[in-house]
Amino acid sequence: MKILIVDDEYNIRELMRKYFSLDKIESDGAENGLSAQRLLREQHYDACLIDLKMPGMDGLSLITWIRQEGFRMPVIMISAHGEIRDAVTALKEGAQDYIVKPFDPEELTIRLKKLIEDQNLRNLVESETLNTKKSSDDLVGKSQAMMKIKDIISRIADSPATVLITGESGTGKEVVARQIHTDSLLANGPFVAINIGGVPENLLESELFGYEKGAFTGAVGRKPGMFELASGGTLFLDEIGDMPLALQVKMLRVLQERKITRLGGTTPIPINARIIAATNKHLEEMVRTGTFREDLFYRLNVVRIEIPPLRERKEDLPLLAGVILKKLNRQMGHKVEGLSSDALEALRKHPFYGNVRELENILERAVIFADTPVLKVENLDLRSSSIKVGSSADTSSTNCLGNQSDDFEAKTLKEIEMETIIRALHRWEGNRTRAAEELQISRRTLINKIAEYQLDL
């Protein structure tokens, strides 16, 4: 059992974590809703405890997002206010329970366990009575390339075959992986994702395979790894091309034998999870240069799905923009209805080196300051996103949202930039290095921007 505690007060997160550990319940903490979103995308949780009042994204907005994204774990809303209208709103948004601070940890644990048991029972009943298969309608796009991808998914969904998804950064590789999981016989099992490149090399093995108590300094208890957590579901290995060579040998053995051994352990543990890997690198070239094992490549490359960049399927832009705008309206409380013909034409001419992720960023900035129901071309800041990834441009001394232009007032640009910086910092719980990486600027530039805008974070 693993719980996500979302509360902006560190002491409360830590006290709850320690109490849960006494009952052998694992837990992670997030200090705001944006950070919780990141953790929920990366790991599987059996339930969430969410505080009502938090900076960046409050508890009600997070619950709404959780339900919209299809997460089915039980949610308990926590508040120090105890107002009846808050409880009613939380339950309407999808919370299963509501508890007021200060609360009895023992009572909270009992209620949590009951909610998790009820959810597991519902999953079992649904899996036994499901007579119709889901379809790949969650994948947005009707271009020839997207229709081909949907066809491949429909053919392989029920197969246990390992899948390798390739494509540029931001094309939606995880979206495709989640769709394969959703359409498969394992749909009611967990979808566990790990970004190989985002985990320090010295921690990656323990994250994947878990460890036993005493396996290394600081291993005060047993911890299951990602392979175990994904049992009965799907394990998504994102950026597999970043896996160190030494660990590639162990990964190959796992794929061959379907067993893992925790660090410090001696007993092989069978794994029952489908493996989907993804990368934006050219693995064939890495095989030729000796930086990726050929035998592991062939183990992963049983079924190959290549996602084309957005600039090669511009006919999907209207559909993608519509879906993104609906999501942003829900998250921000706006009512943007769509794009003008000029705005849509400007997007069609844009190179989109950052692909769908770049489109999301452009539209998010536009919606923040939208003052009309239809976005116009002047609402779109396209200059800031036109630098090709991997180019030699020096971003350390430039504005992280682009240079000022005559189309915008300086105040508006500053407000956009401040909002983007604040959201990135919230997503990474104040980690400036990670936030700077997301913004594609240097850490020093980010620190200077924080000081310039006097951001109290």
Task: Please check the confidence at residue 447 and state whether its pLDDT lies above 60.
Answer: yes
Task: Please check the confidence at residue 394 and state whether its pLDDT lies above 50.
Answer: no
Give the Cα-Cα-Cα angle 375, 378, 382 (nearest 5 degrees). 100
166 within 8 A of 279, measured Cβ to Cβ:
yes
Which two structure tokens, joined as six digits, stand for 55?
């900076």
pLDDT level of residue 235 (50, 70, 90 thresholds):
very high
Task: Please check the confidence at residue 221 and state whether its pLDDT lies above 90.
Answer: no
Which fold would CATH assign to domain 2-129? Rossmann fold (3.40.50)
Task: Please check the confidence at residue 248 and state whether its pLDDT lies above 90.
Answer: yes
Task: Please check the confidence at residue 98 and state whether its pLDDT lies above 60.
Answer: yes
Residue 188: per-residue pLDDT: 87
Task: Please check the confidence at residue 329 and state whether its pLDDT lies above 90.
Answer: no
Residue 134: per-residue pLDDT: 43
Name the percent of the chain lying above pLDDT 90. Answer: 29
AA letter at 67:
R
Residue 109: per-residue pLDDT: 86
Residue 179: per-residue pLDDT: 93
pLDDT level of residue 127 (50, 70, 90 thresholds):
very low
Task: Please check the confidence at residue 111 and state whether its pLDDT lies above 80.
Answer: yes
pLDDT level of residue 82 (50, 70, 90 thresholds):
low
426 within 8 A of 35, measured Cβ to Cβ:
yes
Higher pLDDT, 84 or 391: 84
Task: Please check the confidence at residue 208 and state whether its pLDDT lies above 70.
Answer: yes
pLDDT, one tens digit per residue, over 170-204 is: 899 999 999 999 999 888 889 999 999 888 888 89
Give the Cα-Cα-Cα angle 395, 396, 398 (nearest 5 degrees). 60
H-type alpha helices, 333-454: 341-349, 355-368, 410-427, 432-439, 443-453
Q: What number of helices (H) and strands (E) belong to the chain?
A: 18, 16
Residue 158: per-residue pLDDT: 87
Give the Cα-Cα-Cα angle 403, 407, 409 (nearest 5 degrees). 75
CA distances from 256 to 260, 272, 295 (A): 11, 13, 10
Q: What is the mean pLDDT of residues 311-334?
A: 88
Residue 431: per-residue pLDDT: 83
Question: What is the C-alpha separation between 405 and 373, in angstroms, rounded?
Answer: 24
Residue 71: per-residue pLDDT: 76
pLDDT, one tens digit per residue, over 263-320 is: 998 888 888 899 999 999 999 999 999 999 999 999 999 999 999 999 999 999 988 9
One fold for 2-129 and 312-453? no
**Number of neighbouring beta carbons within 10 Å of residue 46:** 19
pLDDT level of residue 387 (50, 70, 90 thresholds):
very low
Residue 121: per-residue pLDDT: 61
Kind plus residue range of the DSSP H or E element containing 210 = strand 210-211
Task: Please check the confidence at residue 252 and state whether its pLDDT lies above 60.
Answer: yes
Rg of the chain over Cα atoms, rounded to whole angstroms, equals 23
Question: What is the C-alpha separation between 227 and 418, in angstroms, rounded?
Answer: 39
429 within 8 A of 35, measured Cβ to Cβ:
yes
Which fold would CATH assign to domain 144-308? Rossmann fold (3.40.50)
342 within 8 A of 361, measured Cβ to Cβ:
no
How remote is the C-alpha of 337 from its chain's centroid? 26
Residue 128: per-residue pLDDT: 42
H-type alpha helices, 220-368: 226-229, 245-257, 283-289, 294-300, 317-332, 341-349, 355-368
CA distances from 1 to 104, 119, 288 (A): 20, 13, 43
Nearest Cα to Cα of residue 300 among 267, 326, 323, 274 = 274
Report phi then psi at 131, rounded to 5: -110, -15
Task: Please check the confidence at residue 68 and state whether its pLDDT lies above 90.
Answer: no
Q: What is the mean pLDDT of residues 210-229?
A: 84
Place of tokens 């970043």: 242
pLDDT level of residue 456 (50, 70, 90 thresholds):
low
Residue 150: per-residue pLDDT: 93
pTM higher than 0.85, yes or no? no
Q: What is the mean pLDDT of residues 367-377?
A: 86
Residue 408: per-residue pLDDT: 37
Task: Please check the confidence at residue 401 and state whether its pLDDT lies above 60.
Answer: no
Which fold would CATH assign to domain 312-453? Helicase, Ruva Protein; domain 3 (1.10.8)
Domain chopping of the chain, boundaries: 2-129, 144-308, 312-453
Q: What is the mean pLDDT of residues 137-147?
A: 82
